[in-house]
Structure 1
Amino acid sequence: MFFTDQRKVWKVGQVAGLNQAELSALFSRRLLPTGTPILLDEAMRPVEPMSSWFRSLALERKAAKTMRSYAYSVLMLLHFLLARQADLQSATEGDLREFRLWRQDEAEEVVDDAAWDRDWAAIESLYVYLVRIGAVARQPWRATPQRSSLASRIRPDLRVRHMGLEQYLYLRDVGFGGLAADAGLDESFRGWRPHRNRAACELALMTGMRIQEWSTLLLPELGLLDGRQPAFADVDLKACAKFGRPRSVYVAPDAMELLAPYLLLERPEIVAKAQRSLRRRHRELFVVQCLEADGTRVRGMLDGLTITRTVKNMKPDLRRVAVLESGDGLEPLALFIGQSGKMLTLWAWDKIRWRAWDRLQAWAGHWQAPVLPRRCWVYHDLRHTFALRLLVFLTREALNDAKAQGLPMSTLLDHMSGNPLLVVQRRLGHAHTSTTYRYIRYLKDPMREVGDAFRAWTAAGGASYVTIARSLMELEDAGHAPPRPLHP
């Protein structure tokens, strides 16, 4: 299994002596978007109809991550069928059911229902393609009115883990920022770029963006070029949003203010040290020559060609190599950058997160440290915290407005425009209100309510069993008879 990478082809082509015109003609004749899977046999020949199906997925604009997942799911099915002397054309519903049984019960690493549904989505897509090209007469499983007979029909529950204020400040300042648990200076801290990491943490919380959204932000989107520092920003998301679903994100003044130390102290130093590396990789970069339409559109050189792109439509791979040609050198357009001057990858952010978690655990015994969860915090927990806090605030505002107006019931227009669930849904970019609705169950702590409900039971009725047992042991040690229980 291989995956196409146009950037690598450019490098190999230049080494082989092909010029840019020849490479451009090659790409124009056979369009294979980056990330397209290719399955080869022992003689390095494409395996059909698998490779053609992969290409059809790429032309349908499937994400590279989705295509990779589909490819490995179907590859496991192929190996399973070959071990049973079968193939895609001869496979029956029984074969597919046994494949599911193997994946969920007998494989070296079994999967749950949610993971199986992802495998099944790939298999369904493959057989739809096979029927369309005539490789098979029909799909080998029975169809049902709702879904396939092999799907789990189990909708995974939304796991919402959110933070309290003390937990968040502990994560941001101690874990990411390198401070001590009492908010003092920790002289033993040897972490990397604490201002950048704290700013990223604050940005994720105050906007509710997913990690693939806030980690790929560009300076023009926040109005941060030419030394400007606006009080707030409105960002239009599209290419980096989930499923490419467009929405507008408001970046509050607090988040913008916390960016200032990073932009003034750390980022210029990173850019200056990365100049040699950026110049060496000049041919691989998207060198922006000018910004148009108030920074919403960029024009520059990529692979020897002049291209113009709208910023919100720039995909993460293009954002990662985008630099601005200035009089002082190459300025990366990415907001959060690493040592090389390039945008930090998700793997790099994950490494930063685990280092922060190690610091949190090291300070967990301090009397000012809050209670930590059993599992490491993830960046998506900040998104859940944003959603719950905003939902609580908007609900209280709506109740206060209705009370102030003295109306028995708000008008339909007021209810529709100010409905807290609809506002949170729009801010989070959820496609369906049902996804946002599941946050309601987390607005109160159910375990605390359980404790409150049964606290009177354990406190009433005289002495508890623990008290009786302690008294019994003490009296027996003293040689006295045990006391009689207060209640039968």
Structure 2
Amino acid sequence: MRRFTVDSKLAEQYLESPVLSGVDVARLLRERSISDGTPIYLGDETMMPIEPLCSWGRNLSYAELSRTTMQDYGRIMARFAAHQASHGRDVVSASESDLVAYRRQRTQLQRRPIGVSAWRKESVLLDQFYNFLEKTGHRRQRPVRVAARGRNPLSPRLRRAMDIRHLTLEQYRYFRDVGLGGQRPDSRIDRGFRGWAPHRSRAGADLALGTGMRWQEWATVLLPELGIGTATPGTSVEFTVQACAKYGKARGIYVPEESMRSVETYLLLERPELIAAAAKTLERRHRELFVVSRIDRESGLVHGVQDGEQHVFTLAGMPPILRRITVHEGEFGLEALAVFVCRGGLMPGADSWKRYRHAAWRRMVALADESAPRLPRKRWRWHDLRHTHALQLLTYLEQQLEGAEPDPAARQRRHLRYLTEHVRRNPLLIVSRRLGHSSPEATYAYLQYTDDLINEFEEAFSGWIGDQTEEVTYAQIAAHAFALDSQPGQDLG
């Protein structure tokens, strides 16, 4: 069996067939609502569709899942199908013992067993797949008996706690300035540094830390959202994130002044060179790009042309895949509308940002000496900056609301009292709303860290972002959070 994924653009550009042209195929995919990323399964010898896997893939497309999610689901089912084939069976006729054997293989026997979270995702998908087979008549019942209250019996019994990893001030500056920025631990310039676009990576880190956004939110931000070209340089800005947010949940984002200054330094020193070098390449690809002709900043509407057709989108409603190909006419010709760009002139993808982070970690480990802060056993993730933002902001709001509580028992009682406080003055709920958590329960996990001795209040907010150590950026963020969340009906757009 072979697995493929739908890509209408590739079909339109490269498909040559006497039966259907690439343009006809792309049109049919749109008419049948088959989205890019939909998994397709074909036989090794016949290259004919394998059912019911292809019908299940089409069902994923109708559910309007993201491209990356469908690709991930497609890989999981292909892996399970390969496991069944290795035992002379198929996915439709799978028994309970087959699924239990697959679980044991994935979680215990393979060279690198997967963890609780990864298996939970696979078990839920397998449960949904056999539910689909039951509804469509391919099976009379599921292979695994439904547990009490409809629970999936293949799901792991253990529930993994939220993995909160935060950085101290010294750790963050070492990560940003030494790992990403090319400095030496003593703050001198490293003449031997061979990293690419260090100001871009430093700006990304400062934007992530200052806003608490998830990776897909800050890495896909567009120039108009930060007010580049219209707002006064070095001032804080606000915008709404939605299509790039988890579950598409809209929320307001506040970008403090120091984060903006860090981004503007990158825009001034590095981005023009990247844009100029890629202008000719983008010009040759203009038909496959979304070329913006006008941006209505009051309504947030973006007008442009893609493949000869006029389109209008809202800024907040533009998904990551569209943002990646969005360009406009600039000083050097066509240039990306994204804040962060790579050598190709467009937005760096997940693998690129992962590569920047891994290179920074290797450099940090190699240069670590007695002056360097203590490094964790596992390399840092971009998401750790979101955890750090949440923890620092929550600590500050606690102190502002109740004052210093040296007694741990008193602090614990204070945490519990938050549940009965006014909803708009509750630090826990303020941070929950700012991070876009679906439930305050996710934010509650941070409370155990606010009593950690490495987070001293006196130095928690000074000099985290930017290079001016006298700035109190987190106090600025916290004050804005209090003011914003205490005004009902405030428009965050």
Given candidates 133, 138, 154, the residue that maps to 2:141 is 138
In the alignment, structure 1 residue 118 sits paired with structure 2 residue 142: no
Mapped to 2, the partners of 1:107 and 1:370 lie a distance apart of 36
In the alignment, structure 1 residue 68 sits paired with structure 2 residue 75: no
Which residue does the alignment assign to 2:393?
390
In the alignment, structure 1 residue 156 sits paired with structure 2 residue 160: yes
In the alignment, structure 1 residue 377 sits paired with structure 2 residue 380: yes
Give the direction of change, closer, same or farther, for the CA distance of 1:334–1:137 in structure 2 (3 Å limit).
same
335-344 or 227-236, which deviates more: 227-236
Q: Report deviation, 1:91.
A: 2.5
* Preserved contact between residue 20 and residue 304 of structure 1 (Cα < 8 Å): no
Deviation digits for residues 165-214 of structure 1, max 9, x if unmatched?
Answer: 11111111111111221222222223221211111110011111111111
Given candidates 167, 170, 175, the residue that maps to 1:166 is 170
Which residue does the alignment assign to 2:106?
103
Which residue does the alignment assign to 1:432?
439
* Preserved contact between residue 203 and residue 214 of structure 1 (Cα < 8 Å): yes
Given candidates 413, 419, 422, the residue that maps to 2:426 is 419
Query: Structure 2 matches for 1:20-419, cutoff 5 A?
Result: 22=24, 25-42=27-44, 43-146=46-149, 147-225=151-229, 229=233, 231-294=235-298, 296-326=300-330, 328-365=332-369, 367-400=370-403, 415-419=422-426
Q: Report deviation, 1:73.
A: 2.2
> Normalising by structure 1, what TM-score?
0.84
Matched residue of 1:418: which SS? Answer: coil
* Preserved contact between residue 172 and residue 201 of structure 1 (Cα < 8 Å): yes
Q: Report deviation, 1:295.
A: 6.9
Q: Which amino acid aligns with 1:232?
A: S
Mapped to 1, the partners of 2:299 and 2:356 lie a distance apart of 30
114-123 or 98-107, which deviates more: 98-107
298-307 or 86-95, which deviates more: 86-95
Give the direction of change, closer, same or farther, for the CA distance of 1:285–1:401 in structure 2 (3 Å limit).
same
Which residue does the alignment assign to 1:10?
12
CA RMSD of aligned residues (A): 2.8
* Preserved contact between residue 304 and residue 310 of structure 2 (Cα < 8 Å): yes
Q: Report deviation, 1:372.
A: 1.4
Q: Which runs of 4+ in 1 moved over 4 A?
A: 13-24, 408-414
Matched residue of 1:125: which SS? Answer: helix
* Preserved contact between residue 220 and residue 296 of structure 1 (Cα < 8 Å): no
Give the direction of change, closer, same or farther, for the CA distance of 1:15–1:321 in structure 2 (3 Å limit).
farther
In the alignment, structure 1 residue 442 sits paired with structure 2 residue 438: no
Gapped runs of 5+ residues in structure 1?
Answer: 403-407, 449-488
Mapped to 1, the partners of 2:289 and 2:7 lie a distance apart of 15
Mapped to 1, the partners of 2:91 and 2:163 lie a distance apart of 37
Mapped to 2, the partners of 1:223 and 1:429 lie a distance apart of 22
Q: Which amino acid aligns with 2:397?
A: L
Mapped to 2, the partners of 1:295 and 1:325 lie a distance apart of 21
Q: Which amino acid aligns with 1:241?
A: A
* Preserved contact between residue 221 and residue 296 of structure 1 (Cα < 8 Å): no
Deviation digits for residues 339-391 of structure 1, max 9, x if unmatched?
Answer: 111001111111111221222123211x4321111221111111111111011
Mapped to 2, the partners of 1:335 and 1:195 lie a distance apart of 12
Give the direction of change, closer, same or farther, for the CA distance of 1:52–1:410 in structure 2 (3 Å limit).
closer
Q: Report deviation, 1:47.
A: 0.5
**Greater Rg by CA:** 1
Q: Which amino acid aligns with 1:420?
A: P
Give the direction of change, closer, same or farther, for the CA distance of 1:289–1:231 in structure 2 (3 Å limit).
same
Mapped to 1, the partners of 2:342 and 2:49 lie a distance apart of 38
> Normalising by structure 2, what TM-score?
0.83
* Preserved contact between residue 166 and residue 387 of structure 2 (Cα < 8 Å): yes
Matched residue of 1:256: which SS? Answer: helix
Mapped to 1, the partners of 2:223 and 2:11 lie a distance apart of 29
Give the direction of change, closer, same or farther, for the CA distance of 1:153–1:274 in structure 2 (3 Å limit).
same
Give the direction of change, closer, same or farther, for the CA distance of 1:254–1:186 in structure 2 (3 Å limit).
same
Mapped to 1, the partners of 2:266 and 2:144 lie a distance apart of 57
* Preserved contact between residue 207 and residue 251 of structure 1 (Cα < 8 Å): yes
Q: Report deviation, 1:267.
A: 1.0
Q: How many residues align?
A: 442
Q: Report deviation, 1:82.
A: 3.4
Deviation digits for residues 371-426 of structure 1, max 9, x if unmatched?
Answer: 11122111111111111101100111110399xxxxx9999996321111101111
* Preserved contact between residue 170 and residue 369 of structure 1 (Cα < 8 Å): yes
Q: Report deviation, 1:14.
A: 8.2
Q: Which amino acid aligns with 1:127?
A: Y
Give the direction of change, closer, same or farther, for the CA distance of 1:51–1:398 in structure 2 (3 Å limit).
same
Matched residue of 1:313: which SS? Answer: coil
Mapped to 2, the partners of 1:128 and 1:380 lie a distance apart of 34
* Preserved contact between residue 144 and residue 153 of structure 2 (Cα < 8 Å): yes
Which residue does the alignment assign to 1:465?
none
Q: Which amino acid aligns with 1:155?
A: R
Give the direction of change, closer, same or farther, for the CA distance of 1:267–1:83 in structure 2 (3 Å limit).
closer
* Preserved contact between residue 231 and residue 253 of structure 1 (Cα < 8 Å): yes
Q: Report deviation, 1:246.
A: 1.5
* Preserved contact between residue 81 and residue 87 of structure 1 (Cα < 8 Å): yes
Give the direction of change, closer, same or farther, for the CA distance of 1:364–1:109 in structure 2 (3 Å limit).
closer
Deviation digits for residues 246-286 of structure 1, max 9, x if unmatched?
Answer: 21111111100111211112111211111111112112211
Deviation digits for residues 309-345 of structure 1, max 9, x if unmatched?
Answer: 1111111111111001246511210000011110011
* Preserved contact between residue 422 and residue 433 of structure 1 (Cα < 8 Å): yes
Q: Report deviation, 1:80.
A: 3.0
Q: Report deviation, 1:88.
A: 3.6
Matched residue of 2:403: which SS? Answer: helix
Gapped runs of 5+ residues in structure 2?
Answer: 406-413, 456-493
Deviation digits for residues 205-249 of structure 1, max 9, x if unmatched?
Answer: 111111111101110111113686361111211111112122111
